[in-house]
Amino acid sequence: MKHLPGISAALLLAFLAATASRAWSDTTVALIIASVLMFACCWASAIHLLGARAALRFVLLGVSFGWFAEQMGATRGWFFGDYVYTEVLGPRIGAVPVVIPLMWFALSYTGYVIANLLVWQTARDNAASLGQNLVMALLAALIVCAYDLGADPYMVYVLKAWIMAKTDGWWFGETLQGFVGWTVVGGAIILAFRLSLGKAPAQASQTFDKRHALVPLAVYGGSMLFQACQGAPVETRTIAVFAMGIPLLAALCGYQRWQPVAAGAAQ
């Protein structure tokens, strides 16, 4: 941890602390702080790993796609089924709390890094064919969806962050459409970013250090630990360990084998 740049380390520690505080006080302020810090530390990590321009492009894609999908979901029932947000998550743009699009970027970036480490043993991309991009985007989206297996029931039953029109789904009342929607939207964000790179891989910043990839891994791991300790219904606590723990540990193995060509060099 001491080797991470100061701003990334501070943001990461603040995110983990805010996440842990939710175990005692599930307030709107705590949720907003945790979500913003998660967004900020993932953006800082992306700047170092991908370069400022590619990171900004990823942020814009994640926030815009995420807001559109949630707006259509909350008003027309697209993607995730019919639902409406409560006041728990704070101020909104349209029908969508501001923090939700920020979370779409953070989770999509986390899935992107973990998928790359799983398959390529690097956190950044080389040029890839359309088929490879499709498969990698789907893999990353499934990693994001694994987070939702525990997060979605918790947000509905404990936080009451939104109200679903249908509560008779097979997953603790959640319908299959919701998980399909998560996979489709997350996959679209990640695929759009991968395609935006074209034939030129993302360029790291001049302060490149592979340890910046530990930030999204820690975010994912911290979320897994929270779900394992505080998840509701209680069955999701065990599910989180396996659904999120397996890709996380495999990505850590990939991280150990990652040998960057040179600081700031494309791979």
Q: pLDDT of the chain along its 267 residues, tens only?
A: 444 555 665 666 666 566 655 544 456 778 888 898 999 999 999 999 998 999 999 999 999 999 999 999 999 999 998 999 998 888 899 999 999 999 999 999 999 999 999 999 999 876 678 999 999 999 999 999 999 999 999 998 888 899 988 877 788 878 888 899 999 999 999 999 999 987 665 555 555 688 899 999 999 999 999 999 999 999 999 999 999 999 999 999 999 999 876 444 444
DSSP assignment of 164-220, as one string?
A: ES---BTBTBB-HHHHHHHHHHHHHHHHHHHHHTTTSPPPPPTT--GGGGHHHHHHH
CA atoms lying within 13 Å on the CB side of residue 71:
11
Cα three-residue angle 137-32-160, rounded to 5 degrees: 85
Task: Please tell me the pTM assigned to this model.
Answer: 0.88
Q: What is the 3-state secondary structure (H, E, C) of 141-165?
A: HHHHHHHHHHHHHHHHHCCCCEEEC
Q: Look at the block and give the residue holding tokens 């995420």.
A: 66
- pLDDT of 2: 44
Q: Answer positive or negative: Cα dihedral of 152, 158, 160, 165.
A: positive
* Alpha carbons 64 and 59: distance in angstroms, whole number: 8
- pLDDT of 255: 96
Is residue 207 within 8 Å of residue 48, measured between CB atoms?
yes
* Alpha carbons 131 and 116: distance in angstroms, whole number: 15
- pLDDT of 168: 75
- pLDDT of 170: 81
Residue 233 preceded by cis peptide, ω within 30: yes
Pair of tokens at residue 107: 């989770």
- pLDDT of 248: 98
- pLDDT of 266: 40
- pLDDT of 157: 87
* Alpha carbons 109 and 111: distance in angstroms, whole number: 5
Instruction: Reduce the DSSP state of residue 132 to 3 states and report it.
Output: helix
Residue partners of 29: CB distance under 8 A and separation at least 6: none
